[in-house]
A and B are shown apart, each in its own frame.
Chain A
């Protein structure tokens, strides 16, 4: 994967704090972009890089928690670190349950924040990698012919060529050719790998999933 420089997004209506945070984040070699409102952030074009959001819970237009919802809906999976001037336990529980990385109250310990940012960036990096892998798998899957797409789950399901041939109403020889095409196009080094790929594709939320077969 290409080495991408992480970008941290800071959303807080206190401009002085934004500047201070940018400065602090800079001391560990990370870039930060600051926004004074949720709308400003949502309206911005986000760079394709790992990162996370440092977000104040109480923003003038949209609450931080609502922004979190919006991001989830928009499939933006940037990890969120909440900061707040109010020590509100129910709010923090809600935030964490909704998948926030951390919930810090101002004035916070700078190390705590930087640690949280690192965790967030790591989390995002991993997510991006998984996403990229999945995208690749999908691309490969799309390159299969319809027949190959039928054969794929059956092979991954552990069926013998003979069985597959019977089910599909074709010859074993044909099945062997399909099988080898699938392995090649999916770039699977072994059956085990193909099984893993099938699993990954199946558990993806997108519609292009391999269909379940009656064998399973």
Chain B
């Protein structure tokens, strides 16, 4: 009896063990299956992401991109609804750009989210994912419970989208009918999707910006009709042409492309090898500026200002040149036009006065004749005299009108407070100075007498000197960049203005040449500014010169006669 009892206990024990083992094995199998399923799902999600990326590379529109990513994310998380928002910097709010499953009320309500209490608002503020497992329970979500209820969701997660630089672009949110928290695996994959989305959005945007900028530039070049802008090969053959070039030089692109740019030069310049020299100097110095005669297609000459710039690739190899030719006859024509207008104005004034004068004289003569007759019609004489008086008054009005008109014209020479003018110009500079890290030191003598001059031209001189100074210091490193502007009365009673920079300075043998029109230095040249500034100052009866500045840099000085 006892043996069978022991055996039963033993059997039961073995049975239980077996059951346990089977149970364990079943659990393990279940877990393995679950893991397998998980991995399969992961793989599927990764494949989908990959496929999405590939497809999105060829999309030119952002909208399908949003739709795809949203669909993939909703599917991944098994969500019921979802939306993608983008941040609009002008509205300073998140705006829904793609959504699935929501009705219009919800969209209107959340179309522009500034509120930081909703999930997306919170996530945006913290720049981190926000999960609200149950909106009924979350205290901050209170104001939105009603709309969430009508939309039909109880849980929501919002994941921010960042561009590769880490700047936030928007949000992707998913919503669930039941309280829910996505698994860490789902969130991990969502992050992948979000990162991808951020990348794609950033790429598309910069592509778009580039395209717009290129288009603007193309239009600018196309439309600059006074400037011939074209490109040359390394040997000087013309490789591109613009509308301005056609207008200035007279050739259409099909008849000029491939030809050598020396066709624009007159015979005497070609003899002196000017075109070749220009290319050589441009290649050597980066830039070559010149003024001279050019010949149009129809053989007519025009005085041109040209700038030839060497173009190089990343390795520094010369790939060609860019040439800008400015037809200066336009400027001259404008000046002539100004004179013609003056002439016309004078003629018009003369006409305005001649009208009433004619009436006066004719009436007076008529009166004389009438009175010389046998029985003059005195009434008619009276009427004539009245007309004379009226015409005289009219003439007087014309003259007052002209006087008033003349007052409005700016006088060429005016009394100018030079310190005020300097400060006016400096007020335009702060951003530029800041950008280059240049500090400004001014010493403007307060007791300066006014000078006599053209305000606009003197402003031009100041602007020119200051921008040269800024440019000179652009590449300075290792010591402070200082722009020094001073004004004082010199020993002869003239007003003296200094503009000094702390740049590398100029060699003493070069310093005088900078006022010549085609001198250029490696830094990109000072252009036409200095020769023009000098002629302006000289027209005002002053002098403009340059010296090496103390320790470093260059100091420009000019004098103006005090009134």
Contacts and interface: CB of A to CB of B under 8 A. Distances in A.
Is A bound to B?
yes
A34 to B, nearest CB: 13
A24 B390 contact: no
Contacts of B361: 107, 110
Given A86-B351, A106-B354, A14 B366 contact: no
A24 B354 CA distance: 18
A108 B360 CA distance: 11
A107 B366 contact: no
A107 B351 contact: no
Contacts of A110: 361-362, 365-366, 369
User: Per DSSP, are chain B's interface residues mostly helix, strand or loop, or mixed?
Assistant: helix
B355 A17 contact: yes
Contacts of A107: 354, 357-358, 360-362
A108 B366 CA distance: 13
A20 interface: yes
Nearest to A110: B365
Interface in A10-49: 14, 16-17, 19-21, 23-24, 26-28
Interface in B313-362: 347, 350-351, 354-362
B373 A23 contact: no
Given A85-B351, A85-B354, A17 B373 contact: no
B366 A20 contact: yes
B355 A20 contact: no
B520 interface: no
Contact of A23 (B351, B355, B384, B390): B384
B428 to A, nearest CB: 46
A27 B362 contact: no
B384 A14 contact: no
B344 to A, nearest CB: 11
B380 interface: yes
Given A16-B391, A20-B384, A85 B358 contact: yes
Interface in B215-250: none
Given A16-B387, A20-B384, A86-B347, A27 B366 contact: yes
Contacts, number: 64
Nearest to A14: B355
B358 A24 contact: no
B387 A19 contact: yes
B489 interface: no
Contacts of B468: none
A106 B395 CA distance: 14
Contacts of A20: 358-359, 362-363, 366, 384, 387
B358 A108 contact: yes
Contact of A17 (B359, B365, B384): B359
Nearest to B390: A16
Contacts of A28: 369
Contact of B356 (A16, A24, A26, A86): A16
Contacts of B384: 20, 23
A11 to B, nearest CB: 15
Given A14-B355, A27-B370, A106-B355, A21 B347 contact: no
Contacts of B362: 17, 20-21, 23-24, 107, 110
Interface in A88-113: 106-108, 110
A17 B383 CA distance: 13
Most buried by A among B350, B359, B361: B359
A27 B362 CA distance: 12
Nearest to A106: B358
A106 B373 contact: no
Contact of A27 (B358, B360, B373, B394): B373
Nearest to A29: B373
Interface in A54-104: 85-86
A16 B370 CA distance: 18
B346 to A, nearest CB: 12
Interface in B363-396: 363, 365-366, 369-370, 373, 380, 383-384, 387, 390-391, 394
Contacts of B380: 23, 26
Nearest to B373: A27
A16 B355 CA distance: 9
Given A20-B384, A23-B380, A23-B384, A85 B355 contact: yes
Contacts of B350: 85
A106 B387 CA distance: 17
A28 B365 CA distance: 12
Nearest to B356: A16
Nearest to A25: B366
A23 B383 CA distance: 10
A108 B357 CA distance: 10
B444 to A, nearest CB: 53
Nearest to B363: A20
A86 B380 CA distance: 30
Contacts of B365: 24, 110
Contacts of A108: 358
Nearest to A21: B362
Contacts of A14: 355, 358-359
A19 B385 CA distance: 12
B366 A24 contact: yes
B325 to A, nearest CB: 37
Contact of B369 (A24, A85, A86): A24
| Residue among A17, A20, A24, A27 with most chain B CB within 10 A | A20
A56 to B, nearest CB: 10
A17 B351 CA distance: 14
Nearest to B352: A85
B390 to A, nearest CB: 7
Contacts of B351: 85-86
Contacts of B357: 106-107
Contacts of B391: 16
A26 B365 CA distance: 12
A19 B391 CA distance: 12
B410 to A, nearest CB: 29
Contacts of B356: 16
Most buried by A among B354, B356, B394: B354
B347 to A, nearest CB: 7
Closest 9 CB pairs of A and B: A110-B365, A27-B369, A106-B358, A20-B362, A24-B366, A107-B358, A23-B366, A20-B363, A85-B351
Interface of B: 347, 350-351, 354-363, 365-366, 369-370, 373, 380, 383-384, 387, 390-391, 394
10 contacts: A17-B359, A19-B387, A20-B362, A23-B362, A26-B380, A106-B354, A107-B354, A107-B357, A110-B366, A110-B369
Given A16-B356, A16-B387, 8 more contacts: A17-B359, A23-B366, A24-B363, A24-B365, A26-B366, A27-B373, A110-B362, A110-B366
